[in-house]
Chains A and B, each alone.
Chain A
């Protein structure tokens, strides 16, 4: 048992778990069996079993049973269920289409029924059920209240509200101006841009996957792999000093992690050219600036020439393509930076501390 726990602790470390999640995500988009009723049941059973058995571990219990963390456990199961359910419905429709049968929704869409009683009553039942759930939940679990506010005593770790912990987790890889301001802003802008960038007329008003593979893949990548996973890491697996702790690991206040991260400028001027850092910041950071400029301004143009992206460029037109590509590249900046950190201990691509301009 200890060996299994230790193995899970090690595998939970972001560089392993993120890689495993990426593989699982690829499998998810490819698999059909996962979305069958049997696949869903197996997933649910495995998830529940893992959770229940883990509760026996005191360290796991301590963090999961924290009052404010209960909703996040709930969220994990709810998100899991609804992703399964949506994909289940989508694959069902795909199969119907491939057999030449009408979409499930299509069979009933012409059927107009009276709002009273059908819709009104199902809404009423929903309200009753929700009221019961909320009241039971509120009686069973008290809202957390800690010591009175003390501006002189910072708890360790200090954590933002749970829905922002994905952003706080990003602070590991990016400076606040990116992780706390620019990237969240771009998430909002990106979400708002979706209907204007996505020109695919199919899949409007019904569950489907085959007709919208790329859209759904990108959305799920952002929502599950990045946003939700980062929240789970930030909530359950980040302890004192924002150090990483496996799910069964004790939150040791004194755990020390060596800071060995190196800037790109150091790699370039010292390790590659052996001439030392230039005094002028612009010259010093030029390799990083060029790299970032290449990433955002040249890469979309180059990608446009590849067969796969050309298809989208022709379909979407230049404005949609460039906006979409820029948003996509911003999203990919996070996993790219994560892997650069893990593989090369890279601290910053561009590090202009003089102007707080660090990427």
Chain B
């Protein structure tokens, strides 16, 4: 009976309109399955056997990308509950823990973020150890380095959002560095030389740190700034560069392998 049922489902017009090919049974269908699906289409139809071994790739790039998706989905769910203002941010996080059903979304999001940082490092290490940054893949290595930086920035901007002691003081320590930016920081070397009519151009109300946190201290302006960067700004750039990264993997000859 189950067989009949499954047959009538897979033979139905609805099913066939979605899955053109069905479960591939021959090589032609295996190729069509890859071509006809927008997600699978990221991959070529055939791949080097050496290149897809787990012992070669460690599936680390895939892991990093998967965690990026986990972060996107859990982050979206968190946005339903979270309001980025000094009044509400902390209590919303407490609510998430106490009141939200299946309350592990914040856990998934936070641990996923840590895991993603580690996965990106290990992916970079693998690519280095297999010499996969060498020609013709130099540019894609660069895109990867930028994605590593974006991963760290995503994690950094997200660190502030719970608005607890851990959050603001970690961001305080981190953003204090911007004060020392050469030329552009209030306490950076060279900034004292930038003067106009005897007035310093770079001071605590106009330097790199001020631009980063939107004020002289971490406050409501910082929270909204980091929130927007965390939820919209950096993810958009990262998503675009991930697309470039994948596309270049294909264009530079697929997963690397010995010539």
Chain A residues at the B interface, C-beta cutoff of 8 Å: 68, 71, 74-75, 78-79, 82-83, 85-86, 89-90, 103-109, 111-120, 122-123, 126-127, 130, 134-135, 137-139, 141-151, 153-155, 158-164, 167-168, 175-177, 179-182, 188, 191-192, 194-196, 198, 200-208, 212, 216, 219, 223, 352, 354-358
The 8 Å CB contact of B142, one of A122, A127, A182, A195, is A195
Contact with A along B35-63 (1 / 0, CB 8 A): 00000100111111111111110110011
Q: A191–B258 contact, CB under 8 A?
A: no
Q: A68-B114, A78-B122, A216-B129 provided; 8 other pairs, C-beta below 8 A?
A: A113-B47, A123-B62, A130-B66, A145-B166, A154-B169, A191-B145, A195-B141, A356-B192
Q: A176–B165 contact, CB under 8 A?
A: no
B77 within 8 A of A: no
Chain B 20-41 residues near chain A, CB threshold 8 A: 24, 27, 30-31, 33-34, 40
The 8 Å CB contact of A105, one of B50, B165, B177, B181, is B50
Chain B 172-206 residues near chain A, CB threshold 8 A: 172-174, 176-182, 185, 187-193
A-B contact pairs, 5 of them (CB 8 A): A68-B114, A82-B126, A144-B166, A149-B86, A356-B191
Q: A134–B165 contact, CB under 8 A?
A: no
The 8 Å CB contact of A205, one of B131, B155, B162, is B131
How far is it, in angstroms, between the C-alpha of A142 and the C-alpha of B93 when the chains are bound? 12
Q: A161–B138 contact, CB under 8 A?
A: no
Q: A139–B104 contact, CB under 8 A?
A: yes
The 8 Å CB contact of A149, one of B90, B110, B124, B152, is B90
B236 within 8 A of A: no
Q: B49–A207 contact, CB under 8 A?
A: no
The 8 Å CB contact of B173, one of A75, A130, A138, A160, is A160
Q: B111–A134 contact, CB under 8 A?
A: yes
**What is the distance, in angstroms, from B183's C-beta to the closest C-beta of chain A?**
10
Q: A159–B192 contact, CB under 8 A?
A: no
The chain A residue sitting closest to B111, CB to CB, is A137
A82 / chain B contacts, CB cutoff of 8 Å: 58, 122, 125-126
